[in-house]
Every structure is written in C-alpha cells, then in structure tokens.
Structure 1
Amino acid sequence: MTSKKRRQAPLAIEPRKAGVLPALAAALFIAAGPAASALPSDGAAGGDALTICADPDDLPFSAQAGDAKGIYIELGGEIANALGRPLKTVWSQTYFGKRAIRETLLSGKCDAYIGLPDSKNFMGPKLIFSKPFLRIGYALVSPKAQGASSLTDLAGKRVAVQFGTSPELLLADHGDIQPVTVLDPEAAMKALAAGRADAAIIWGPSAGYLNKTLYQDAYSVRPASGEGMQWPVSVGFARASGDLRDKIDRVIDEKAEAIAALAAKYGFPQAEPISLTAAASAGGSKPSIMLASQEKPASETAPATAHEAAAPAPGSTALTETPAAAATPASAADPAAIAAGREIFNGTCSHCHGPDAIVGQRRINLRLLSQRYSDKMDEVFHYTVTHGRPDKGMPNWTGVFSEDDFSKILAYLHSVQQN
C-alpha cells in the first residue's frame, strides 16, 4: 500500500489508502473527492476470461507495473487456472472504497473482487463473499534482537503508530509507552531504521513487505491480536454470481498451500499472533467500510468533519444564531437506523473521526459529544453539518446528505456515546 494513497481520509482501513479495504481500515472515504475510475484492463473483459478488479498501485496486494504483481493478482491467476479460464484485470483506484466497488464489480466490469472484508455489514445484500482465504491486520514490529512480544515489553519505549488507527488508540491508554505518530507504515519503518522509534504497531502486510524488500528482514513482524486488530478477507461478488462464488470456494480449499506460499512470498506476517488485550475499546468493532487491501489512518491535515466540527470553537457565535430545526435522531431502539447511520459515518466521517468514531485524540472524539454538549448535542450536530466550519476545513454537507441521513448518523452517534 503506497503512502500517497494512505492519507485519509482506511481503509478500509488508512494516505491510508485505505488495507482491509479496512480495511481494508480502515476509513473512511472522502465524499467530496472524485469517483474512482476504472483504468484500461490487461484485456477486454468478457468471454470465458475470469475478470477481477484490482488497484494498480497497492503492493503487496496488487500492482499493474513491475515484476511484483501482488498477492491478489497472483491468487487471481491461481483461481483462473483452476477454473480453466484466462485471467483479465480491470485496474481501478480503490482509495474511495465502496465507491470503487460500485463502479467496478457492481457495474459489471469484473466478475470478482479479491480482498474484501468478510463481513455482512460491508455493502449489505448487494455483495456475496467466498469463504475467507487470509487474515490481515496490524502487527508489532521490533528489531529481532529486542524480541518484543507484549505491551509490557514496550514499557518505556518509543512506539510508532499510524494516526487514527486502533494501535494509536491503544497507546493512548498506556502512559508508560511513548507514541511516535506517523501517517503510514513507510514512515514508521523509516523511524525504526533511523532510531527514532524502538518498535511499531502498524499495518502488517505493508510492514512485512517493506521488511522483506527494503530492510533485509531485520525486524520481527508479528500479528497483533485483539479487537480492531485483525480481519478475515474474502473474494467478493455481485449477488447474482452465486455459482461462481461456489466454484471459487472449492478452489480456495484446494489452493490453501499456494495461498500460504504467496503470503510468505510477499512478507505477510506469519508468526503466531501476540495478544494486545487492551486493544479493545468501548463499543469498538472492526472498521467495516475499509477495503481489505487498505489501512487508512486519518491525516493530521484532513479537514474536521461533522463532529469535531460539531463543536464550535471557543468564542464562536455559531450557537448564538438561530439554528435550523435540529435533526431528530432516529429512535435509539431502532437497530436498522443505527446500522444505516454507522455505514454512512464510516463511509465519510471516519476519515477524520476514526472508524466507528474510535480515535485517539479527545478533541475529535465524537463519542464524547454528550459529555461536551449535554442536551445541546443534537442542536450542535445539526447546525454544524448543515453550515460547516470553514475555519476548520469542514464543508457544509447540505445537499450531499439528506435530513434522513443526518438523523441516522445522529442515531448512531447517540448509540456510542461514553457517558
């Protein structure tokens, strides 16, 4: 995953171009940005070819140029060979996550999308998934001589973490560990190599690939287990492609050894996961909107969105004006509204406020809105999303989202408040 795509705005987690499209993730896509567009394929889609969609510049997952094609492209070749079909690739930028899926897979431009998060919450009933073929997520990276294998081993150490990710949130609860905040895995690995960090907890696939290709395997790269740390990934299909999904399920079983070999080839962490038990956070869950190839930490320079946004700056006159009627949150007892609000939030707001509103910085932590504004929370929220905060870089979302959308987002935020 390249650093130019990993600024967030992941993912997916995550910039982050978004890895597990959180990733894969994990965040998470700028609504005002241009839509992802399909690039020329390696050949015309159609006929008997198995056509997959992939990002042209996202090693270790996929690449259009160079000798290294990436694990997803090579796996696509294995699957196509097993099915007796040639492989064709439609190249499409995945930075915008779900939009990329809509404009490629769901538009009939490809038969399958390798590397989507294995979650029913990912785009709902529009997609179906193969059985998982891999687990990806964050990893603890340390010099081999150091042998760090727990948070206890990191006490007193400088630890690089990506901005807006679960590991950053984890370290926020450990005052005995000094965080070194970076925007992407490349910067973290450079900090390790330059002696500016003693260890790192970063996106595992990128860390492993960089360790293998640039750092002569100088580091131990171990998967970190815990809530919000690892996710299963699958092959995604349009809902009508059940027959193809069933065939590829059988191939995944048959190719288990080949898949493991590809993971090793591209440096994916292979060691037994280590437990970072404090990784779980209140109400935390995996960032379901990230593409599985992505990990998208929020950029420090990214504009504030709806809810730090929702907090007028000290001395601001925003709330002295007469606001439009505040959005009425859908009933907190309505699981469907809360789920819909979560999906909208993770598709846009999480760029700055983290997947599922989980973020390490208190000033943009939207789980604290009720503490800040009490019974004014709804009013502040609605005024901010319908007026914006130009001084903070937040746009006016009127016309982008409907009042019903605002209501669902607010219902979701009410469901995760830390009182």
Structure 2
Amino acid sequence: MSSPSPEARLLVLALIALLLAGPAAATPGELRVCADPDNLPFSNARGEGFENRVAEVLARELGLALRYTWWAQRRGFVRQTLGTGTCDVLLGVPEGFERARLTRPYYASTYVFAWRRGDGPAVRSLDDPALRRVRVGVQLIGNDGTNTPPAHALARRGIVDNVRGYTVYGSSTTAEPPGRILTALAAGEIDVALVWGPLAGYFAPRQAVAIELAPVTPALDPPGLRFVFAIAAGVRKDDTALGERLDAALAARRAEIDAILDAYGVPRARAADVR
C-alpha cells in the first residue's frame, strides 16, 4: 500500500507534525491518551467525542485508568504530546502516517459531498459540470490555506473562482470551527460542500435544514489523490508492546466501537478500494 501524499496527511484531523522527540515508557496502570480538548466530534475535555468513547472502551478492555494529555491539534501536536512522552496513544491517525507505530485501522471513512435537500445540486462526482456553476465550499487546514484533497482535485479541474475555503482550526474563540462549513451550507452561503466524512456525519444533522451527503467519487483521483482513509491508533515507534495490546483490544471490542461510530454518524468506506 502506498503512503498518503503530504497534502493528504495534512488533512485528516491535523495529525501531521514535526519529528517525534525521545520516547518514554507508558505509565503502569494508565492508558495515557493525547487529545484535543475542543475538537468535536472527535474529542473534547468533557469526553463527548467519539474518540473519547473509543478511548474509554480501550481502557476498560485493557484494565487501565484513562488519563488525557490535552493539546490543541495544530502544527506540532504530535511533537508536543506523543513526542515529549506526556502521553502514549493517539487516536484518529491516518494509515500511512510514518512518525508513529500504528495499530490496525478501526475504521475507514471518506470525504463526502454535502448539499441542502431539495435546494442544491445533488453532486456525487468531482467531474459533475454543476461544480463549475455553483458556490463550492472546501475545508482547509489552518489559517495558512493549506489545501486538502478536495481543494487539490477542484484546482486540477480549473474550478477555482467559485470555491470558498473554510479552515478546520479557526481561532481559539471560534465555536466548533470544524462545523462552520456545514453551517455556511445550511445558511445558503454556499451551494455544495466537500467535507471529511466524520465531520459531515456529525454536524449535518445539527443544522436547521436537511443536508444530504454522498461519498466523493472517484475515491482515487489519478495520479494518486485519495479521498478514502483508513484510521488507526498510534503509539511511539518503539512501543511495540502497547501497540500489540491496543490491536488486541480493538479486535475484542470491534462491535462496541462500530456502534459508537454509528451513533456519531461516521460514514464508513472500504479503504481496500483505493489501495
């Protein structure tokens, strides 16, 4: 399997960071998880995200107390958390991420098209001519305008002037910045949006109008731009023992984890389709 491109790794939950610092051993009796305190639907300090729920399941299965290290997912997130040894486990890591030892994936998801039901183009393909005529929203990582796979795919097709970018990070005072693109869609500021599936599945039902979702096709835009990503947990590269224990726990609690993902509306995909 080929590794995601640098642009692709930037986009999934912003878990692309600088080189890891020196390793540290896991604390006996604790599952120390690195997480963002304000990043729904993935995690928050109140334990309301689906990654919080998955962490709880894993801790119970391993017979460990769950403890968090909170750090906003910005550039340097991995270096400041896993890399400094203040925590031992990352959740929501895209398969192919090279700066951590990854478990087997516990789900795969896809970018989706989103539009207002009955009041917007039902776009399902990047090659739909409607994308040249309507206002299109895409997600960007950070305030520096780093592009995500949908932004690259549109640019390849010359679809630029009618595209509006929405940063995932926002500022520390912005309420639920990952959901702003869906709020803009519901308000009629854009006509169609390309959104990472777990974000769309969580925020779309919370809008004042009905939002339809459909997987982006093609799932692989040649010569290698992917829209489907398998997601795993990550530990330090030399922490083989913890990685193996997490693999066993993920397998043992597969049904429970699937139920959590269903409850949060996470669209699933087959990562094997784009390998």
Aligned to 2:162, the other structure's residue is in SS state strand
TM-score, reference length from structure 2: 0.72
After superposition, the Cα gap between the structure-2 partners of 1:176 and 1:229, relative to the gap in structure 1 and judged at 3 Å, is: closer
- Structure 1, unmatched stretches of 5+, are 1-9, 14-18, 30-44, 278-419
CA RMSD of superposed structures (Å): 3.2
Tell me how many residue pairs correspond in the alignment: 235
Aligned to 2:29, the other structure's residue is in SS state coil
Partner of 1:220: 212
Q: Any idea what the Cα deviations from partners look like across 1:248-304, whole Å, max 9, x if unmatched?
A: 11221222222222222223224789x9x9xxxxxxxxxxxxxxxxxxxxxxxxxxx
Contact 1:52 1:110 (C-alpha < 8 Å) held by counterparts: yes
TM-score, reference length from structure 1: 0.49
Aligned to 2:153, the other structure's residue is in SS state helix
Q: Does 1:128 align with 2:138?
A: no
Higher relative contact order (CA 8 A, sep 6+): 2
Report the Cα offset of residue 211 of structure 1.
0.8
Q: Any idea what the Cα deviations from partners look like across 1:7-53, whole Å, max 9, x if unmatched?
A: xxx8853xxxxx514x44x7x78xxxxxxxxxxxxxxx934121111
Runs of 4+ in 1 over 6 A off after TM superposition: none
Q: Does 1:61 align with 2:42?
A: yes
- Please give the alpha-carbon distance, in whole angstroms, between the structure 1 residues aligned to 2:155 and 2:57: 43
Contact 2:42 2:51 (C-alpha < 8 Å) held by counterparts: yes
Percent identity for Structure 1 against Structure 2: 29
Partner of 1:315: none
Report the Cα offset of residue 75 of structure 1.
0.4
Partner of 1:168: 151
Q: Any idea what the Cα deviations from partners look like across 1:218-270, whole Å, max 9, x if unmatched?
A: 11223322223222221111233212211211221222222222222223224
Partner of 1:109: 86
- Please give the alpha-carbon distance, in whole angstroms, between the structure 2 residues aligned to 1:177 and 1:94: 28
Partner of 2:238: 240
- Please give the alpha-carbon distance, in whole angstroms, between the structure 1 residues aligned to 2:180 and 2:186: 10
After superposition, the Cα gap between the structure-2 partners of 1:130 and 1:220, relative to the gap in structure 1 and judged at 3 Å, is: same
Report the Cα offset of residue 112 of structure 1.
1.4
After superposition, the Cα gap between the structure-2 partners of 1:267 and 1:100, relative to the gap in structure 1 and judged at 3 Å, is: same
Comparing 166-175 and 232-241, the one that deviates more: 166-175
Q: Does 1:183 align with 2:175?
A: no
- Structure 2, unmatched stretches of 5+, are 1-6, 19-25, 141-146, 168-177
Partner of 2:199: 206
Q: Does 1:77 align with 2:60?
A: no
More strand by share: 2
More helix by share: 1
